[in-house]
């Protein structure tokens, strides 16, 4: 089974952009805190946590209803050890998808 270089580059690029997004979100929250803009900081944290929770719920549902089409060894191991829910509770579902 050959893995195209373009798929690899898109996967790595997607993960790097995801990590950059997380870092910029943290930077924005810290900036609001230092400027004492607590309402905007609270709204931003609420939106970030809400959207992240929604993504994890949809990811878990996707895995739950698509049980038979495991693609990678990592996904198979996680499913066999029943760690899927735990990973999604701790916001690690995105990393599992990139593995």
pLDDT per position as a tens digit, 40-55: 999 999 999 999 888 8
Q: In terms of residue numbers, what domain contains 59?
A: 5-98
pLDDT at 40: 97
Domains of the chain: total: 1
The tokens for 90 are: 């701790």
> pLDDT per residue over 66-93, tens digit each?
666 656 666 666 665 567 777 777 777 7
* CB of 15 closer than 8 Å to CB of 99: no
pTM listed for this prediction: 0.65
Rg of the chain, C-alpha, whole Å:
17
Q: Is the pLDDT of residue 12 over 80?
A: yes
């Amino acid at each position: 089974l050959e893995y195209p270089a373009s798929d690899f580059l898109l996967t790595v690029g997607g993960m790097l952009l995801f990590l950059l997004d997380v870092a910029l979100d943290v930077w924005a929250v810290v900036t609001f805190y230092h400027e004492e803009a607590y309402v905007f900081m609270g709204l931003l944290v609420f939106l970030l946590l809400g959207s992240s929770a929604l993504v994890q719920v949809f990811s878990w549902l996707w895995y739950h209803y698509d049980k038979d089409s495991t693609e990678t060894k990592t996904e198979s191991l996680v499913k066999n050890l029943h760690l899927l829910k735990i990973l999604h509770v701790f916001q690690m579902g995105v990393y599992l998808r990139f593995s």
